[in-house]
Amino acid sequence: MKTRKLGPLNVSGLGFGTMSFASVYGPAPDKTESIAVIRGAYDLGVTFFDTAEVYGPWTNEELVGEALKPMRDKVVIATKFGFNIDPRTGTRGPGLNSRPDHVKTAIDAMLRRLGMDTIDLLYQHRVDPDVPIEDVAGAVQELIKAGKVRQFGLSEAAAVTIRRAHAVQPVAAVQSEYSLWTREPEPEVLPLCEELGIGFVPWSPLGAGFLTGKVAPATNFDATDFRSQSPRFSPQAMAANQAVVDAVERLASAKGATAAQIALAWLLARKPFIVPIFGTRRLHRVRENLGAADISLSPDEMSAIEASLSAIDVVGDRLPAGVLELSYR
């Protein structure tokens, strides 16, 4: 697979987000099966893997560390801190916690769970309004000097915050939700990343599965599936938003591709510093998604997509209110 740059990090053009192996889309899958899918993704060319301490909490980092141990020196592993997780019990409390002392304690525990000496890319998962971003960047800079972290990243941060953090410690990558039906990074964050040489990592590039065309508007999600609480996945919103999928599937049919491949290829065509991370529990979906790297969208095709989508009003917030308010600070 062709590679792209996230700051100084060289990674596969498509990365693998492992959140789906936690209890997010219903009960977590079998560990052995999960490891087989993660290693299978590597065998298919993926060298960039994403996890976080809050996935589980903790269990996802342990899974990723075990799965990628045999090829540790051949992959880039990203993880995240920032939620208020008790470092002794793993209990998640309310709000966020990016106090420098907490961050340093959290990173030591991350390294143990991942079975690594150094974290390749360490993101602040959400910006903590109670801790100046300069203090957070300074704490990560100390971790970098100590050899515990290679590069610093931010997730769901506002452009002004990214600039302030970058002035203290260069930011290698910014991660935010970005896809055909979620366009918030375009006005400010993407231009800033281009200006400062920061890589951009879209999470949920397939709209939590909806943009694949495999989620019927009448789907009833299990209570343990986070989509059951998402405004964009209410029956009414899904019915209205099917127009987005229909537009994507028309182009997919013309290209001999799947809707998922077109959604990912669209992101790859936007900017050369964009590295989407998709998630799935199934190896055949990994293989399908990676096929997006072989699809070229012409300027006319990109314009046609834009024209189709501009006529569609996406219904429903992308996240529940209590989660959405943590973004773009």
pLDDT along the chain (329 residues), means of 10: 97 98 90 98 98 97 98 98 95 96 97 98 98 98 98 98 98 98 98 98 98 95 93 97 97 97 98 98 98 97 96 97 95
Q: Is 218 exposed, middle or buried (0-12, 13-18, 19+ CB in 10 A)?
A: exposed
Q: Which residues contact 81 (CB under 8 A, 6 or more apart)?
A: 52, 53, 98, 103, 106, 107, 110, 122, 123, 124, 125
User: Cβ distance 51 to 61 under 8 Å?
Assistant: yes
* pLDDT at residue 197 in the model: 98
Cα–Cα separations (whole angstroms), residue 281 to 201, 257, 261, 267, 308: 20, 21, 17, 22, 31
Q: Is 261 exposed, middle or buried (0-12, 13-18, 19+ CB in 10 A)?
A: buried
Residues making up the chain, counted from first to last = 329
* pTM score, whole prediction: 0.98
Q: Which two tokens stand for residue 117?
A: 């000496």
User: Cβ distance 143 to 79 under 8 Å?
Assistant: no
Residue 260: what residue type? A
Among residues 25, 55, 123, 178, the one annotated as catalytic is 55
Q: How far apart are CA 99 and CA 83, in angstroms?
A: 11
Q: Is 291 exposed, middle or buried (0-12, 13-18, 19+ CB in 10 A)?
A: middle
Q: Which residues contact 184 (CB under 8 A, 6 or more apart)?
A: 176, 177, 178, 328
User: Cβ distance 156 to 326 under 8 Å?
Assistant: yes
Question: Helix or strand or coil: residue 304?
Answer: helix
Active-site residue flag, 328: no
Q: Is 34 exposed, middle or buried (0-12, 13-18, 19+ CB in 10 A)?
A: buried
* pLDDT at residue 23 in the model: 82
